[in-house]
Amino acid sequence: MSTNILGIETSCDETAAAVVRDGREVISNVIYTQIPTHTLYGGVVPEIASREHVLKINQVIKKAIEEAEMTWEDIDAIAVTYGPGLVGPLLIGVSTAKALAYAKDIPLVGVNHIEGHICANYLEDKKNGETGVPPESIEPPYMCLVASGGHSHIVRVDDYTDYTIIGRTHDDAAGEAFDKVARAIGLGYPGGPKVDKLAREGNPKAIEFPRASVGDSPYDFSFSGIKSAVLNYLNGAEMKGLEVNKADVAASFQQAVIDVLADHTVQAAVDYNMKTVALAGGVAANSLLRETMKERAEAKGLKFHCPELIYCTDNGAMIAAAGYHEYKAGRRADLYLNAIPNLKIGER
């Protein structure tokens, strides 16, 4: 008997729902992105995000069930992101999921958004896969870099619901640094994909930006120094009346961030005797990060895995995948489930 989970995600600026079978097979995946709305303001406006989620959530869920060619009878549990994220947006998803669970008498499972990003690695999209070939499957244990707009962590995944943070950022998240540098060179929001694209035309060795290590942990990160170094470089050039080659700035900045992300993650995997390294979170969509991690992991004899591009940024399928494992572990949320904006990995 297979288990179908409906996953609901509203923690930031994507209203998303998906149906996933047995934690791996994506049956439907509907994402309504609010990016065009927030682009007008240069970043996510929480109040506007909440309103957009209210407007779209019912349609998105209905479409996810329809595209799966299912009815509510076929859904074994509803999984919803309850943190971390923006409190208003989270509450829309949580309230909707609770109402549906109650009305349809279906079990409810609360999911940590970051754990959802990690579980995107298990997803196999038979209908819409990029390559049409099911990706090689991955199973715990492995070392995972989670890099998104709000988080940068190295996480040891010992089992499907067992996570330990090995490294973390002391200041900005990697995606945040991409977004801020993009704004500084006039690329707009969201910056990550735009820096990624422009960097392909630039020289990554043109400018030497710092590769920061912090304190006494070899696995921690700090990205505020490199962000400041880029801003100083741009200001310095402006004061001297020099023209800036934006592609070189993008390529050099990106290379500096990725060197640190890849080296710390591969080192953590080696030190903790892991045989596999994985990537997760919005920044995992970065083409250079994907290539670099693969090269450096394989150079150490490790296997490498990353989610398909569509499952790197926020989506409902990853929440359904994480929810499946919580459900199988017997964890259930009740109607008191609340949004927890600063929910930590591994917290229940």
Residue 115 binding Zn ion, by CB under 5 A: no
Nearest distance from residue 146's CB to Zn ion, in Å? 9
Nearest-angstrom CA–CA distance, 281 and 145: 8
Nearest-angstrom CA–CA distance, 303 and 55: 43
Residue 191 interacting entry, from Zn ion, ligand KG4, none, C-beta within 5 to 8 Å by type: ligand KG4
Nearest-angstrom CA–CA distance, 87 and 93: 10
Q: Which stretch binds ligand KG4 (CB under 6 A): 58-66, 135-143, 145-153, 242-250?
A: 145-153
Residue 306 binding ligand KG4, by CB under 6 A: no
Q: Which residue from 176, 196, 314, 326 is in contact with Zn ion, where contact means CB under 5 A?
A: 314
Residue 283 interacting entry, from ligand KG4, Zn ion, none, C-beta within 5 to 8 Å by type: ligand KG4
Q: Which stretch binds ligand KG4 (CB under 6 A): 96-104, 148-156, 204-212, 328-336?
A: 148-156
Q: Which residue from 93, 116, 167, 281 is in contact with ligand KG4, where contact means CB under 6 A?
A: 281
Q: Which residue from 30, 283, 322, 333 is in contact with ligand KG4, where contact means CB under 6 A?
A: 283
Q: Which residue from 124, 179, 248, 308 is in contact with ligand KG4, where contact means CB under 6 A?
A: 179
Are 282 and 148 contacting, i.e. CB atoms less than 8 angstroms apart?
Answer: yes
Q: Which is nearer to Zn ion, 14 or 220 (CB)?
A: 14
Q: Which stretch binds Zn ion (CB under 5 A): 53-61, 193-201, 246-254, 307-315?
A: 307-315
Q: Which is nearer to Zn ion, 115 or 314 (CB)?
A: 314
Q: Which helix (H) or strand (E) segment is 145 a member of?
A: strand 142-147
**DSSP notation for 187-253:** --SSHHHHHHHHHTTS-TTSS------BTTBTT-B--HHHHHHHHHHHHHHHHTTPPP-HHHHHHHH
Nearest distance from residue 90's CB to ligand KG4, in Å? 12
Interface positions, 180-239, toward ligand KG4 (CB under 6 A):
190-193, 196
Hey, which residues does 217 pair with through a beta bridge? Answer: 214
Helices (H), the chain: 35-39, 46-67, 87-104, 113-119, 174-184, 191-199, 224-239, 246-271, 287-299, 316-328
Q: What is the DSSP letter of 35?
A: H
Strand order in the sheet with 25-33: 25-33, 14-21, 4-9, 77-83, 108-112
The SS3 assignment for 172 reads coil
Residue 140 interacting entry, from Zn ion, ligand KG4, none, C-beta within 5 to 8 Å by type: none
Nearest-angstrom CA–CA distance, 114 and 148: 9
If binding means CB under 5 A, how many residues of this protein chain bind Zn ion? 2
Residue 225 interacting entry, from Zn ion, ligand KG4, none, C-beta within 5 to 8 Å by type: none
Residue 313 binding ligand KG4, by CB under 6 A: yes
Q: Which residue from 314, 317, 318, 319 is in contact with ligand KG4, where contact means CB under 6 A?
A: 314
Interface characters, 10-49, with ligand KG4 (x: CB under 6 A): --x-------------------------------------
Residue 265 binding Zn ion, by CB under 5 A: no
Q: Which stretch binds ligand KG4 (CB under 6 A): 103-111, 174-182, 230-238, 263-271?
A: 174-182
Establish how many alpha carbons lie within 13 A of residue 233's alpha carbon, considering only the half-sphere containing its beta carbon: 23
Establish how many alpha carbons lie within 13 A of residue 274's alpha carbon, considering only the half-sphere containing its beta carbon: 29
Nearest-angstrom CA–CA distance, 339 and 11: 9
If binding means CB under 6 A, how many residues of this protein chain bind ligand KG4? 19
Are 135 and 35 contacting, i.e. CB atoms less than 8 angstroms apart?
Answer: no
Residue 148 binding Zn ion, by CB under 5 A: yes
Interaction site with ligand KG4 (CB under 6 A)? 12, 148-150, 175, 178-179, 190-193, 196, 281-283, 285-286, 313-314
Interaction site with Zn ion (CB under 5 A)? 148, 314
